[in-house]
């Protein structure tokens, strides 16, 4: 699998923060049942790597990845835990080398044209655009499509059901990422039916 393949699996990648690894498997199953098989578990909690391992082992239909990869060791540990892809909010040469070394597909984060061009020089054409709304939103991404038509993005940050379709309508957007699919209270209470419903709504966001 290459990074661009992630864009074809679903229109939305849920960005998940898990404080309890025990919630990982039922949460992943609810998202997959709702039509969203690609799941980004952020490395923001001590439970993240264990959650990735459990999803990878117990939810075969899920494509689980690690997000908030900010250090070379994050990439290494995520790969060892069973992550199928990596996502970073930004990128440095050291971090890029570490992600490449894992052999996993990855979406390095950019917020400017210069950052995107720097990655393009290394042959990378699939990127995360973050923080999407704060960095200029859909209008900014549309503008980037002119001079950089070979790049496709997964915008993340400030995106929800209300504005996801605006991004997905752009020719240089492969999918969007968002945390609205796994509300903290729903995860805490184990309301997997609510998560499944939110995933189903998001999975229906298809471009023509």
* Residues designated catalytic: 40, 128
Please give the Cα distance from 182 to 14 (Å, whole number). Answer: 7
Size (the chain), residues: 208
Token duo for residue 57:
């082992």
Which DSSP state fits 159? -
Helix, strand, coil proportions of the chain in percent (round to 5)?
A: 45, 15, 40
Please give the Cα distance from 197 to 30 (Å, whole number). Answer: 9
């Amino acid at each position: 699998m290459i990074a661009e393949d992630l864009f074809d699996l679903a229109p939305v990648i849920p960005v998940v923060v898990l404080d309890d690894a025990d919630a990982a498997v039922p949460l992943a199953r609810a998202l997959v049942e709702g039509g969203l098989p690609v799941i980004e578990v952020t490395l923001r909690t001590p439970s993240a790597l264990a959650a990735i391992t459990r999803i990878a082992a117990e939810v075969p239909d899920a494509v689980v990845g690690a997000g908030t990869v900010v250090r070379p060791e994050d990439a290494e540990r995520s790969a060892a835990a069973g992550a199928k892809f990596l996502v970073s909010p930004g990128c440095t040469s050291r971090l890029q080398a570490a992600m490449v070394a894992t052999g996993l597909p990855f979406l390095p984060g950019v917020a400017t044209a210069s950052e995107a061009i720097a990655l393009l020089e290394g042959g990378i054409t699939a990127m995360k655009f973050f923080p999407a709304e704060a960095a200029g939103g859909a209008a900014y991404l549309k503008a980037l499509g002119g001079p950089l038509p070979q790049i496709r993005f997964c915008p993340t940050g400030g995106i929800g059901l209300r504005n996801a379709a605006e991004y997905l309508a752009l020719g240089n957007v492969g999918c969007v990422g968002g945390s609205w699919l796994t509300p903290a209270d729903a995860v805490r209470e184990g309301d997997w039916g609510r998560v499944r419903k939110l995933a189903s709504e998001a999975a229906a966001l298809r471009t023509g």
